A and B are shown apart, each in its own frame.
Chain A
């Protein structure tokens, strides 16, 4: 019944880490800015529906890793800004460590396969 989008969904945890890292490097950011930045960094490798960002932001906020407030954008428009919290920074550290281990693991498998 629901219409499925042809673009592949991004792994949930992956998108979370991308958002957190982007906020860490850029400071407070609104949704559009975040989406643009993530696409820039992925350099087209990530074909993301920008809308899927918002539920992810909500999830991160509910977990206390980011906070949000309404403010003015550089063009003086009202926009909602997201900001990393202390818990969010810790989470990045944890996740980074986690990813490093997974990457190392997968690499080992790939080498064995050669």
Chain B
């Protein structure tokens, strides 16, 4: 150990050691010579004898040096400094290589960061790999389940080591007692065994136990996340026992969870947890889906058996709850629910479902980008290798081994890759910020893609891999020369070394092939997005602001209604606002209600009730979203309180239930679907054109619009304001009116209707944008590759071209010849790339909207783009070739 330490410290004082050793040797020789002189030997002979007796001085010094330092570190340090000097000497080459690599590595790092956060990173809990998510499908919504279903699974302790549940993270009002403005926190309801089952420990105080969630409304307790305690309460240790107002309920803080734990959802971090029994709602109602069920698996039971058992449990449960309604539309719908046993260790994520597959495809795309970049750098290195033939030959003759030279080259490659990855990380961080802009604000709070150790490791890994990929072949090639020949021909490339040029061409063909794949993908997604954008949703999304209101918890329906009417009256007075209305859930708010109906006289509902979409809307709703009913009228203020039930239906409704009816206005439908003729009638007062009310990709469904009445559904409506004002000045105006009316009511989730429509296709937008960027990058890199190879070929063939011109070839012919060379490379690349891209297209077919993976316009455009790029890239070298002076070229020879 001590020896190693001495050797290491010696590295840093190499110069001094060398001087001392020389002096020591000198002293030795001088002493011996003096001794000999005393014996009468003449000075010169004495000196000579002393040297002879000493033996090989240089040899000894070498042995001494080896002994002194740690030889390989020293050698490495030498190689690194030599490499850096080489890179500095060649700034253009270095810049081109580092930039290509940085783009490739940066793109990979950015996409991988998302994949890491969304799909790989394990929850900071005990043995996360044992966690399961019991994911509900079918029926209403996905993922969320009911509390009774949780209790059912909880019984099966033979199957699971623990079953627990949590609600989604809700943004609720929070008051620590010192703030005047309305603050919000993310609150989750959790079952009493939540922390135990996850194996999360308290930072201070205690966490929930089963006894903390037994009786409804009986446990006013709260546990804080460490981050919340740190950021909002300044780690105040006196927080235990304090009462906080959360969602206007007084809750006593009993503990803080361990640092780093934010709950089990990836994109929504919880600030605090409240016992599930504090949920304000019919907790035992089987139709109330509000919890995610999770379980800890028993390691001895295989996953397939868990799935089979879960299916049986689910079937028995559903039959016990809905068995009696087996024959009704509702019953069938309810019985169609299933449980999917999913891995839970990476956390729950709705975003993963929408974005997981696109991310995987993007990862493949950036992998290709990196390969293209590597090919480019390899090409640059080979070109540089030719220029350095003389240097290499010299080092060979001076006794360097081939391994030593290859190592030197690889170290240079590694340096390039590391420089590239540093710059690439900067690109990645910027790129991640840009990608996050695409995510709808509703997608998550606390979604964190900042590079962590895994990401940094990944970046380092791909850099080293890239360095080997692009560095090894050029290194082997550059060092496989015959030193004498290389020295003799003065370092110039011998004509006719076809293999070398062939390898470079192969690299370019590969680049072109990969570029074709990326450009086709870019074209497909762009075309798909353009198709989505060109869809007419049926309403006018411009100039409409949407938002929700957050009322104090104690307010009843009547209070809210009164407040809303007064607010609407005030807002109508605001200059610039032309129309205002509200609806539940409102356009592009991610959901709709369904209701079973009967339509007297319709064959469709003669035997059973049919489910249709139901929307509750306010007066002038259609006017506000820029529409006018085809027939009849829309609701007015008077309709809102009328006891006579009325409705507006869409064309799809008419087609489904009243086909061939001339004027559906005045016909009736009934929300009582228990008997064929229905119950209380609802009169149709208007017919509306079909609109895509909740997504561009789904066709309009049969929809019944009814006047929204407070208390019917427990959700607050979305307000819609049409105004000729930009959002930046409209929102403050609305906030001002709201504040003057009642400062207790807060405006939440403001978003223009246009933005909401965009949010609904964010995956299509992000994938089209990114694949477009990667496609363009690939084209650029390929163009550089083609340029490099063509230009190099022209230089190599200067003499030949000169001769041709001297023999009377027209410059235009020479130009053509060079251009053709470039085009041949492209043709080969396209021939390889097209089948690849068709295969890639099939994989991504599910992400395309309205077009097939072999979309002809995209393919034609791709080939055209590559040809144009190829001609452009080969044009400069071709011009240079045509301008060759025959005399010059021949004299050069």
Asked whether B27 is an interface residue with its Cβ less than 8 Å from the other chain, the reply is: yes
Indicate if B126 sits at the interface (CB-CB under 8 A).
Answer: no
Of all chain B residues, the one with the shortest Cβ separation from A80 is B24
> Among the listed B25, B34, B55, which residue makes an inter-chain contact with A52, where contact means beta carbons less than 8 Å apart?
B55
Whether B28 contacts A32 by the Cβ 8 Å rule is yes
Contact check, B24 vs A1: say whether CB atoms are below 8 A apart. Answer: no
Instruction: Please state if A1 and B399 are interface contacts (CB–CB under 8 Å).
Output: yes
Tell me if A86 is interfacial: C-beta within 8 Å of chain B.
Answer: no
Helix, strand, loop or mixed for chain A's interface?
mixed
B24 touches A54 (CB 8 A): yes
Determine the distance from Cα of A49 to Cα of B53 in the docked complex, in whole angstroms.
6
- Asked whether, in the complex, the Cβ of A62 is within 8 Å of the Cβ of B28, the reply is no
Residues of B within 8 A of A76 (CB): none
A50: interface (CB < 8 Å) = yes
* Bound form: Cα–Cα A50–B59 in Å: 12
B6 adjacent to A62 (CB under 8 Å): yes
Select B53's contact among A50, A62, A73, A80, beta carbons within 8 Å.
Answer: A50
- Interface-side segment among B61-69, B128-136, B587-595: B61-69
Q: Are A31 and B24 CB-contacts (below 8 A) given A54-B64, A58-B64?
A: yes
- Decide yes or no: A64 and B2 within 8 Å by CB, A1-B399, A30-B27, A54-B64 being known contacts: yes
Is A54 a contact partner of B60 (Cβ separation < 8 A)? yes
Tally of chain A residues near chain B (CB < 8 A): 26
Cβ of B483 to closest chain A Cβ, rounded Å: 15
Across the interface, which residues of B come within 8 angstroms of A94, CB to CB? none
A101 within 8 A of B: no
Chain B residues with Cβ below 8 Å from A77 are 27, 30-31
Number of A-B contacts (CB under 8 A): 75
Chain B residues with CB under 8 Å of A64's CB are 2
In the complex, what residues of B have CB within 8 A of residue A62's CB? 2-3, 6-7, 67
The residue of chain B having its C-beta at the shortest distance from the C-beta of A59 within the complex is B67
Chain B residues, CB < 8 A from A73: 27, 31
Assess whether B28 is in contact with A31, with CB atoms less than 8 Å apart.
yes
The answer to whether the Cβ of A108 comes within 8 Å of any Cβ in the partner chain is no
Please tell me if B773 contacts chain A, counting CB pairs below 8 Å.
no
Q: How far is the CB of A34 from chain B (nearest CB, A)?
A: 10
CA distance in complex: A79, B2 (Å): 26
Is A52 a contact partner of B60 (Cβ separation < 8 A)? yes
Query: Which has the most chain B C-beta neighbours within 10 Å: A5, A58, A75, A78?
Result: A58
CA distance A5 to B27 in the complex (A): 23
Q: With A31-B24, A31-B28, A79-B27 in contact, is A2–B59 under 8 Å at CB?
A: yes
Cβ contact of B54, chosen from A50, A75, A78, cutoff 8 A: A50
Q: Does B282 make an interface contact (CB < 8 A)? A: no
Residues B43-73 near A (CB distance < 8 A): 53-57, 59-60, 63-64, 67-68
Q: Does B20 reach chain A (CB closer than 8 Å)?
A: yes
Q: A3-B56, A5-B56, A62-B3 are in contact. Are A55 and B27 (CB under 8 A)?
A: no
Considering the complex, give the chain B residue whose CB is closest to the CB of A30.
Answer: B27
Pairwise interchain contact B27-A80, C-beta atoms closer than 8 A: yes
A90 interfacial contact with B, CB 8 Å: no
Task: Provide the bound-state CA to CA distance between A32 and B2, in Å.
Answer: 27
Inter-subunit contact A32/B60 (CB<8 Å)? no
- The minimal Cβ–Cβ distance linking A82 to chain B, given in whole angstroms, is 10
CA distance A24 to B34 in the complex (A): 26
In the complex, what's the smallest C-beta–C-beta distance from A109 to chain B, in angstroms?
33
B5 to chain A minimum Cβ distance, whole angstroms, is: 10
Segment 36-58 of A: residues with Cβ below 8 Å from B? 49-52, 54-55, 58
B67 is contacted by which of A3, A58, A78 (Cβ under 8 Å)? A58
Judge whether A49 and B55 touch: CB under 8 Å. Answer: yes
Cα A54 to Cα B65 with chains together (Å): 11
What CA separation (Å) do A55 and B53 show in the bound complex? 16
CB distance from A62 to the nearest CB of B (A): 5
Q: Separation in Å of the A60 CB from the closest CB of chain B?
A: 11
State how many angstroms separate the Cβ of A66 from the closest Cβ of chain B: 13
- Give the residues from 1 to 26 in chain A that come closer than 8 angstroms, CB to CB, to chain B: 1-3, 5, 7
Q: Is A35 part of the binding interface, using a Cβ–Cβ cutoff of 8 Å?
A: yes
Residue B32 interfacial (CB < 8 Å) = yes
Min CB–CB distance B486 → chain A (angstroms): 20
Interface of B toward A, CB cutoff 8 Å: 2-3, 6-7, 20-21, 23-25, 27-28, 30-32, 34, 53-57, 59-60, 63-64, 67-68, 399
Pairs A–B under 8 Å by Cβ, sample size 22: A3-B56, A5-B56, A5-B59, A30-B27, A32-B31, A50-B28, A50-B55, A51-B25, A51-B56, A51-B60, A52-B55, A52-B63, A54-B24, A54-B64, A55-B63, A55-B67, A59-B67, A62-B2, A63-B2, A64-B2, A73-B27, A80-B27
Using a CB–CB distance below 8 Å, which chain A residues touch chain B? 1-3, 5, 7, 30-32, 35, 49-52, 54-55, 58-59, 62-64, 73, 75, 77-80
If A51-B56, A54-B24, A73-B27 are given as contacts, then 20 extra A-B residue pairs at C-beta distance below 8 Å, sorted by A number, are A1-B399, A7-B55, A30-B27, A31-B27, A32-B31, A49-B56, A49-B60, A50-B28, A50-B53, A51-B57, A51-B59, A52-B60, A58-B68, A62-B2, A62-B67, A64-B2, A77-B27, A77-B30, A78-B23, A79-B24
